[in-house]
Structure 1
């Protein structure tokens, strides 16, 4: 039997690696570096990439979405739908990857799965109802402790009609500079209902998550980009949490990527790959990664053949991460 590593990648606000020629973020580069061949453990990696909030067709609409974070709920449900339609075995693994508000999207997604579990494909008919009950506080971990609460009875009914599956773990949350602020000052907080409805998504890592790798921007001073740092205080945790949060030199998009100068973004990307290599079985195509670590205007085959750019920690003769590189990168751990 072939098992699946389901990898959901949610990009940051206005970041779109599909419909534009803008520089790639680390989310897009990691997504494009993942190997899709069946590995020795019998796993195949299934990858879903979502563009960030405010990547529509209208400039005015994009500005509105960027300011208010409109589309966040849709992004959470779209990612959840992908996982539900691809998850087929309790041995399947789930990885959530995000940058900026995309990182907040996967944080919300992890919290939702922690409470609800996974619906079957035919059970997705009930997704909107469940999601709204989760938003309004009808279905929470506290409510589910009461077996006669509305939320408990609803989930029991869905389980009885084979619409619900109990997922055991999310293997890893891989995030760059998580930001939940919706781009407006507190004086205009009445304009941001989407954020307020997600007040129950706090800084605790959901109990269902095994690993958290979080790269943070040390030099970001804008109040609207204040990072959300995770804490290990979940009451539902049944197994130890491996959490790595590390500050990197640079501002928000220096760390998460999206600037023409990718030097600082490369550092946090290599650190993230090292965490995945050390603590998970996710498979990276190191040849693809090497190409994506090059400045994008010279990452053609001609540029790569010149060998004009040296990537610390990678062997120039083979597309694999060297042992020396792994040791060197690990020194960035907090």
Structure 2
């Protein structure tokens, strides 16, 4: 694929809930989509029963969406390759896939996080491991509560790519009667918004678990947005991005909805449960923000940016700070202008 050439064939690598839902969106938009699944039983369910009961029970998948356990089959002649694996596993998976990536295909990240250790954003990981220029890499961000998208409830999202023509081609490839996308060239801002909101959602969940109401949640969302934007601007993002779907839009949805894994995980912590107990209640899955709070705080320290909410979440998750102590610390910070 070159520049804005039409996206007709798509590979989605990762058959979890978000990967399957996004594959459904693109198939509903008339694209031929091949979904790579790690487990044969998942691929068989998609192909034989038009469903992915492990991740999207009750959702009927379109005929243009097929699944395979062979990445070479999924990637063959794909115009766009969508990576739908957790942020901290993207690098290792890419090492296995990079020699199979079609020449000049657009590489799309659905993952929202900052890599531990390297402190790279997901688009930077893709560029480094796949050895491709930044103009070939796009990211999807916004209010992406998976269950609602799979149920075809109206939503909007952002497709960010430094190559505007590629972003437009992807926009056309995932436009349906229920899914509307907007383009943006600010990849940094969109990625920081997506990674940061998971951490702030943990804080909102902790507050909810402690029994606090909407004033507390609104305060955390607003001040959380301020610290995400501060960090984004320090990294070169456009501050206006954080007022849009990839910033405020994603933050509100993730911090407010019971469908949000990070918010729900935070609620367990707010009730005084351990990280292990919260993970068990979350069907063995750790919320992305639990790991992202570490890398985001390190990234902020590197750039001299204050992120008090993210730092408090980090200490609750990894240093034994209690939810009550977290709340007391945040409310007792020195007064300052907004």
Pair in the same fold by TM > 0.5 = no
TM-score, normalised on structure 2? Answer: 0.32
Give the number of the structure whose residues are more often helix, by fraction: 2
TM-score, normalised on structure 1? Answer: 0.32
Larger RCO (CA under 8 A, 6+ residues apart): 1
